[in-house]
Structure formats: structure tokens, C-alpha cells
Amino acid sequence: FSLALFSKDQAEGKVFFYVFEQGKHLPSLILKVRPDKDGINCFEKQYHNLLYIHNNPDLSYFAQYVPRPVLCCKSFQQFVYAETFIGGSQLKNVIVPTRRIDYLKKSSEWLMDFHKKTCCSIEYSDKDLKEKVFLPDSHFSKINEYGLNVDKIQHYIMDCLGERSRSPFPFIFYHGDFTAYNILAHNGKIAVLDWEYSNVKGVPLLDLLNLLTYYCYGKFKGSFYDSFTWALIDENTFSVLSRFLITGYTDAIGIDRCLIDAFVMRFLIELVFLKDSARQEKQDILKLINLFLDKKIKLNYT
């Protein structure tokens, strides 16, 4: 096939090239290029995990909703990744509110079905579950660095674990950046992009929390605190929907509802590590963690 046109865009250190076939109005491929040393790790993970979805007969239903990986290599000191193009509008750009909510529900249902299909349950003691899932050793130095109270966090998590049913813990195929930016909407269907942070043995519920807590991020002009509390703390129409989606997800995957608090704590702790120290978003996340630990706020899902 011949290349007729390139266009490019910048996003988080990546350059995107949209590759068109001669005479076609839509691209056939997207090339992603990164110069940084982490680029090849992200691209290789995305390449192999998407290939796993497309080559696994049990996941054929889900393969139609994700790009097919084509190439992953290093060229001229740049890390290059290519995948098939999927058209649509980002969920965040769907203007009609009722239609946007419909796509949000479709996205949540797709995620729940995907995680049910890829679920692998393992038996853990409370201690192992805390150390391997909710508070890994690798988190401790970072927690201290940000002035968080490790003992409080450990007690918070163990209180949640103490109420569980002792059923095996379900690991799932984790997307890692499941937000309205990476979900495309078109003709009543969705597609899921950007699998760079995916993990075939990931922690459940985090993807859904990511989608819901960032869903109203633009509405609140980039305030994560307001977006998070609107979705999970306050009493409003959207928080009712969030509660319905979260409890529906946990029941379908086989997660004790008493663990939702622990998952939210894990979500916030991991999220704070990813944010630039100078950004208000990091301060919002730290504030939320401390409010939960001091029991000054609680989730609105019961």
C-alpha cells in the first residue's frame, strides 16, 4: 500500500503520524514515536497485550473494539509503534449529555464483560492481599516521601480486609488508562485505545474508578477534588449512576463490597505517584487520601 499523507500531533512526549492509503479519506494506520528510554517498554507492552487479545479465540468479541498492533521497533534512535486506525469521537467530546451518558454506560459494560472474561482468581491471606495488592512494598518509600501516614493506611486497608468473605481474589486484564480520552464513540459503539499501561494480571475496579472520577474533570475546570467528590462522595444524579456501576461491577467480578474502600485507597495512592509535584491535582489527591484516613469523608455507594 502507498502512503499519501502524513499528519502529526504532540501528546505527552509522543508524536502521532496518521498514515493514509492512496485515495482513502480515513487513515489506515497510526504510528506513534517516542524518543525516551521508557518508550520501548510502553510500546512493547501495548504491542504484546493487544496481540494477545487479537490472537486469543476466547477474546474475539473484544478484539473488534481495540486496534490491531502492526509494528514495534527502534529506528534512528526513536521507538516506533504502529496499530490499525479506529475512527470515532473521544467520549469527552460527545456534546449531547444523554448520549454521552449512554456511551459511558456502554464503556462500563464493555469493561465489566472484558474483566469477567479475563478474570483469574487466586487465594490470598489478608496479609498477602495487603502486601501484594493494596499496599505493595514498592509503595512504602513513595508514601513516606509524600508525607502520608503508612500506619494509618495499613490499618485502613486491614479494616476493609477484615470484613471480606475470604473468597479468592480476582485479577483481570488491566487497561491502565481507561478514561474518556481513550474511549471512542461512533454509531452507538465504542472502541478502546492506548493500551500502553496495560497488564494481563492487573487489579480490578481501578479502570472503572479512573473512568468515573475523571469523567467530570472538564466540568470542574481540572479540579480532581471536585470531579472525584462529584462522582463518589456527593449525592447527585451522577454519583447515583457511579454507585450503580461500581456495585454492579464488583458483584459481577466477585469482589466483596467491603473492599471498595480499599480499592479506592489503592487507586488514589497509585495516582498520586504519577502526578507532577507542582500540579494542583497531586495536592487534591493527597487531601482526599488524608480525608479518608481521618474518616472525614466516606464513599457514597451503600
- Residue spans of beta strands (DSSP E) within 92-215: 120-122, 169-174, 183-186, 189-192, 199-202
Q: Which residues, 6 or more positions from 66, have their beta carbon under 8 angstroms from its beta carbon?
A: 50, 53, 54, 86, 191, 192, 193, 195
pLDDT tens per residue, range 119-164: 999 999 999 999 989 998 878 778 888 889 999 999 999 999 999 9
Distance, C-alpha 241 to centroid of its chain: 18
**What confidence score (pLDDT) does residue 276 get?**
66
Count of CB atoms situated within 10 Å of the CB of 22? 9
**What confidence score (pLDDT) does residue 302 get?**
57
Rounded to whole angstroms, how far apart are CA atoms 178 and 111? 9
SS3 call for 171: strand
**Grid cell digits, residue 228:** 472525584
**What confidence score (pLDDT) does residue 256 get?**
94
Whether residue 287 has pLDDT greater than 90: yes
Whether residue 2 has pLDDT greater than 50: no
**What confidence score (pLDDT) does residue 11 get?**
52
When pLDDT is averaged across residues 70-79 and rounded to a whole number, the result is 88
Cβ 249 vs Cβ 205: under 8 Å:
yes
pLDDT tens per residue, range 172-191: 999 999 999 999 999 999 99
**What confidence score (pLDDT) does residue 37 get?**
72
Cβ 172 vs Cβ 253: under 8 Å:
yes
By the 10 Å C-beta count (0-12 exposed, 13-18 middle, 19+ buried), 278 is classed as exposed
Q: What percent of the chain has pLDDT over 90?
A: 72
Evaluate if pTM is beyond 0.75: yes
Crossing angle of helices 280-293 and 224-232, rounded to 10°: 40
When pLDDT is averaged across residues 52-56 and rounded to a whole number, the result is 97
Rounded to whole angstroms, how far apart are CA atoms 135 and 270? 10
Whether residue 4 has pLDDT greater than 70: no
Cβ 6 vs Cβ 19: under 8 Å:
yes
Which residue matches cell numbers 473521544? Answer: 90
pLDDT tens per residue, range 223-269: 999 999 999 999 999 999 999 999 999 999 999 999 999 999 999 99
* Phi, psi at 99, each rounded to 5°: -70, -40
Higher pLDDT, 58 or 275: 58
Rounded to whole angstroms, how far apart are CA atoms 217 and 207? 16
Count of CB atoms situated within 10 Å of the CB of 242? 26
**What confidence score (pLDDT) does residue 5 get?**
46
Cβ 114 vs Cβ 190: under 8 Å:
no
Q: Which residues, 6 or more positions from 184, have their beta carbon under 8 angstroms from its beta carbon?
A: 86, 87, 88, 89, 90, 91, 190, 191, 192, 193
Dihedral sign computed on CA atoms, order 91, 102, 300, 116: negative
When pLDDT is averaged across residues 203-226 and rounded to a whole number, the result is 95
pLDDT classification of 63: cutoffs 50, 70, 90: very high
